[in-house]
Amino acid sequence: MSKTILFGGLTPLHELFMKGAVESLGYKVEFLPTPDNCSLAIGREFCNRGMCNPTYYTVGNLIRYLQEKSATGIDVEKEYMFVTIGACGPCRFGMYESEYRHALKAAGFKNFSFSILNQSKFSSEGELKLTPSLVWRLVKAVWVADIVRDLGYQLRPYEVIPNSVDKAISRSKEEIYQILKRGGKVKDLISALKVFRKRLEGLQFDYTRVKPVVSVIGEFWAHTTEGDGNYHLHRWLESEGAEVRVESIAGWIDYQLFIEEEKIKADIKIKGLTADRIKKLLAVKGMAVTFRTLYNILRKIFDFRPKPLPSQRYLAKIAKPYFDYFVVGGEGHLEVAKHIYNVKEKKAHMTVSVKPFGCMPSTQSDGAQVKVLSDYPESIFISIETSGDGEVNVKSRVQMKLFEAKKAAQEEFEKLLSSLKIPENTFKEAFSLREPFIKLSKNYIGTAARALKANSEKVESWKLRGLEGWKSGLPVYRKM
């Protein structure tokens, strides 16, 4: 293919790694910049009225890019094509393809071509073919991006030297991109992740900082993007003193596999057992097991610190009284399930659900969340609607809830500290300059409480062995 493939809509890290994966098959690839409010304005100008806000952001972003390229004299219809994910709905996602066509024509790019990767059929239309080789390379790119991003969000709030984690990510991401561009052999990716771990181990972390864990969920694009589309929510929460729990794209793929499996099972129940259905069921089950196993192999490099993929069956079960998993579209039952999961399994002090303006599935979920909140009154939950404007209002509402979450984190920590009878000074000395991959307990939410609980018995010896090393600047490796 002579054209350059354009794509976008994820996080910069995912886009870079996926670019490498596609380039490894000989394609020329560029990813679009993160959509901002200027993209939104362009989208509103050329799209139909009444669309949901990710449509405006993503369509507007593509048109803006093409306009800028055209202004430099490039024949964009000849030089570029666009690839995006599509589906048959049932929400406005099913209209993305026609909306792209309509808006591109209205903006003067009527012959601009693009490929649709159908997420529900695992197939493609257009010039880019979704071959098994391409899928495998993309999956590896997604796994690695998820893991690196997740670690960034878990560690950054505790770094002693500002930006040290981001610098380590920056150095490793270029190396990982080059490996993916060469085909992304699993053993090479594992080596690169081990180097990344070493880089992180060279940094110091202060686990005495008591911070609320805030989970960002909601509509897929709205909770994934790291830009104006959600008011830069993740980094803003971090700057407000939170540790942010981000969702993985691997989790989304896992959900698609689960729904596919359930659809085949329903087919078998209603229409009967056939050899073809059994074959399909085994294939999807096999894919799901392999997917999770390989993801865990990569997590193991970091002592399983990157979040695991929660069991889709369990998520469906806890959401069932509020939202049936066959009601698909958007995140389906997942918005409700993730909220309950955060409370029941003690995964976050607070949950923020991001609903883009005009999103039908998120509006349905918000209705069900009212009942969830009455059944789980201990939950600190807020649903916000992102429309491009209204940022001050949204952030002020989140700040109010964050205040409650900070209090909850502090109470959790203080209760634990007094029950262990460890003087606060000793805790501060022992936990203020640590390596990143300190053991963490599963029974608490906040990282300071988890670190304290998991290591409380060793605090005294740890203090004696390790602290002096840091003080004198010696490179003491103090893994417990």
What's the gap between Cα 118 and its chain centre? Answer: 20
Q: How far is the CB of 95 from ligand SF4 (least distance, A)?
A: 8
- Applying CB under 6 A, among 268, 294, 327, 360 the residue interacting with ligand SF4 is 360
Using CB under 6 A as the binding rule, whether residue 92 contacts ligand SF4 is answered as: yes
In the bound complex, what is the minimum distance in angstroms from residue 119's beta carbon to ligand SF4? 12
The single residue listed with the structure tokens 């109010």 is 400
Closer residue to ligand SF4 in complex, CB, 64/92: 92
Stretch touching ligand SF4 by CB under 6 A, among 90-98, 187-195, 318-326, 385-393: 90-98
Using DSSP, state whether 248 is helix, strand or coil: coil
Near ligand SF4 by CB under 6 A, which window of 263-271, 314-322, 358-366, 420-428? 358-366
Q: Which of 35, 157, 306, 330 binds ligand SF4 (CB under 6 A)?
A: 330
SS (H, E, C) 250-283: HHHHHHHHHHHHHHHHHHHHHHCCCHHHHHHHHH
Stretch that binds ligand SF4, among 264-272, 273-281, 308-316, 360-368 (CB under 6 A): 360-368
Q: Which is nearer to ligand SF4, 218 or 466 (CB)?
A: 218
Q: Which of 219/238 has CB closer to ligand SF4? A: 219
Would you say 140 or 355 has its CB closer to ligand SF4?
Answer: 355
Instruction: Check residue 359 for interaction with ligand SF4 (CB under 6 A).
Output: yes
Least separation in angstroms between residue 388's CB and ligand SF4 is 13
# residues contacting ligand SF4 (CB under 6 A):
13
Q: How far apart are CA 480 and CA 468, in angstroms?
A: 16
User: Residue 173 phi/psi, 5° resolution?
Assistant: -65, -35
Q: Quick one: 30 or 226, whose CB is closer to ligand SF4? A: 226
Strand partners, 65: none
Stretch that binds ligand SF4, among 7-15, 352-360, 395-403, 418-426 (CB under 6 A): 352-360
* Nearest distance from C-beta of residue 477 to ligand SF4, angstroms: 46
Beta strands (DSSP E) in 42-201 are 80-86, 113-118, 123-125
In the structure encoding, which two tokens stand for residue 43, read together?
């989208």
Question: What is the length of the chain?
Answer: 480
Candidate residues 20, 35, 361, 436; the one interacting with ligand SF4 per rule CB under 6 A: 361
Helices 275-300 and 186-201 meet at what angle, rounded to 10? Answer: 30
- Closer residue to ligand SF4, CB minimum distance, 32 or 359: 359
The sign of the torsion formed by the CA atoms of 345, 347, 350, 354 equals negative
Nearer to ligand SF4 among residue 92 and residue 232 (C-beta): 92
Stretch of 37-45, 126-134, 187-195, 356-364 contacting ligand SF4, by CB under 6 A: 356-364
Q: Based on CB atoms, which residue is closest to ligand SF4, 360 or 476?
A: 360
Q: Rounded distance, CA 17 to CA 84, Å?
A: 16
336 binds ligand SF4 (CB under 6 A): no
Closer Cβ to ligand SF4, 144 or 359, answer by number: 359
Pick 164 or 362: Cβ nearer ligand SF4: 362
Helix (H) or strand (E) holding 180: helix 164-181
Among 356, 436, 446, 466, binds ligand SF4 (CB under 6 A): 356
Beta sheet of 28-31, edge-to-edge order: 28-31, 4-7, 80-86, 113-118, 123-125
Q: Which part of the chain contacts ligand SF4 (CB under 6 A), choosing from 88-96, 283-291, 453-461, 467-475? A: 88-96
Q: Measure the CA dihedral 343/346/347/348, to 10°.
A: 60
Restricted to residues 162-221, the positions that interact with ligand SF4 (CB under 6 A) are: 219, 221
DSSP lists the bridge partners of residue 124 as: 117
The span from the first CA to the last CA of the chain, in angstroms, equals: 53
Contact at 8 Å (CB) between 210 and 409? yes
Short-list 346, 362, 317, CA closest to 245: 346
- Segment (H or E) for 298: helix 275-300
CB of 229 vs ligand SF4, minimal distance in Å: 10
CB nearer ligand SF4, residue 219 or residue 254: 219
User: Is the peptide bond preceding residue 308 cis, with omega within 30 degrees of 0?
Assistant: no
Query: From the CB of 55, what's the least distance to ligand SF4, in Å?
Result: 6
* Segment contacting ligand SF4 by CB under 6 A, of 124-132, 139-147, 357-365, 452-460: 357-365
x/- binding map, residues 48-87, to ligand SF4, per CB under 6 A?
----x-x---------------------------------
Dist CA 416 CA 376 (whole Å): 23
3-class SS at 377?
coil
Q: Which is nearer to ligand SF4, 363 or 432 (CB)?
A: 363
Instruction: Give the nearest distance from C-beta 395 to ligand SF4 in angstroms.
Output: 21
- C-alpha gyration radius of the chain: 23
Q: Which of positions 221-250 make contact with ligand SF4 (CB under 6 A)? A: 221
Q: Which of 1, 24, 234 is nearest to 115 (CA)?
A: 1
Residue 469 CA to residue 475 CA, distance in Å, equals: 7
Q: For residue 163, give the 3-state DSSP assignment.
A: coil
The residues binding ligand SF4 (CB under 6 A) are: 52, 54, 91-93, 219, 221, 330, 356, 359-362
